[in-house]
Amino acid sequence: MNRKYRKTLIAGNWKMNKTPTETKAFMTELKGLLPKGRWCDIALCVPAVCIPAAVRAMRETRVGIGAENCNPNPSGAYTGEVSTAMLVDAGCKYVIIGHSERRAMGETDEEVNAKTKAALEAGLIPIVCCGESLEQREADITEEWISMQIKLALAGISEDKIRKVVIAYEPIWAIGTGRTATPEQAEEVCQLIRTVVRKLFGSKNARATTILYGGSMNDKNAYELLAQPDIDGGLIGGASLVPSKFVKIIEDANQPTA
């Protein structure tokens, strides 16, 4: 982390977990555990039906609520989809885009780019995910793959909008597997992402871009991961479903930085 130049963000991704009723109970417990004082930015990205309950419960707190996906079109015949304007109106601040689980369902780089632009246009903070598979890592093409994903996701985004984008590096082999990237492995790729952003948008913008690590980050390993200079926070799945674990990660993000 480097709090001098960029924001630290601890973001939860609930995936397809919890009902609206369970959301309310979770948020009540979380509110009781949140540390007082100035801490990092905090987000919880929840299933679409849980957004109203989450927004209502966290209204007076510094926890921002987010969605896990959006449709890039403004409105129309897209049964089952949710637009960025709907998310804003429902009280969302963030939206996860291009999660590997959605890419595995067929989401393309072009769609990730269109969703990122639509989110920015609507005033949402997009958390844009990238990550390599185990096969790609073993074939030693992580650098090429991640560079390509980032270039395609950020294509055509204007310089005045890039600082609003949060990027999450999530190696697919580490998501939900309990197998975390080592701090060195995670740092290496987050540093590469910053280099790609620098080439596209210049050094000031690259220095100001928040880059998260995600992939089995939890209350036991977060401190070391967050101590890396280019890891500005975490995108957390499993551990964000348990208030005490999520709060411990938030506390770990408050460590001293250079």
> Under the rule (CB under 6 A), what is the footprint of ligand PEP?
13, 15, 170, 175-176, 214-217, 235-238
Is 170 marked active-site? Answer: yes
Residues 123, 256: Cα–Cα separation, whole Å: 31
**For residue 223, with 0-12 CB atoms within 10 Å meaning exposed, 13-18 middle and 19 or more buried, which class applies?**
middle
User: Of 68, 132, 170, 251, which residue is the catalytic one?
Assistant: 170
Q: Smallest distance from the beta carbon of 236 to ligand PEP, in angstroms?
A: 5
Q: Which of 99, 101, 132, 251 is catalytic?
A: 99
> Nearest residue to ligand PEP, using CB?
237
Residues whose CB falls within 8 Å of the CB of residue 213, separated by 6 or more in sequence, listed in order: 168, 169, 170, 181, 186, 190, 225, 228, 231, 233, 234, 235
| Catalytic (active site) residue 101 | no
To ligand PEP, the closest distance from the beta carbon of 258 in angstroms equals: 26
Nearer to ligand PEP, 37 or 178 (CB): 178
Tokens 């299933």 map to which residue? 47
Measured between alpha carbons, how far is 225 from 239 in angstroms, rounded to an integer? 15
CB of 237 to ligand PEP, least distance (A): 2
Measured from the CB atom, the residue of 165 and 206 that comes closer to ligand PEP is 165
What does the alpha-carbon distance between residue 140 and residue 152 come to, in Å, rounded to a whole number?
Answer: 20
Min dist. Cβ of residue 78 to ligand PEP (A) = 24
Active site residues: 99, 170
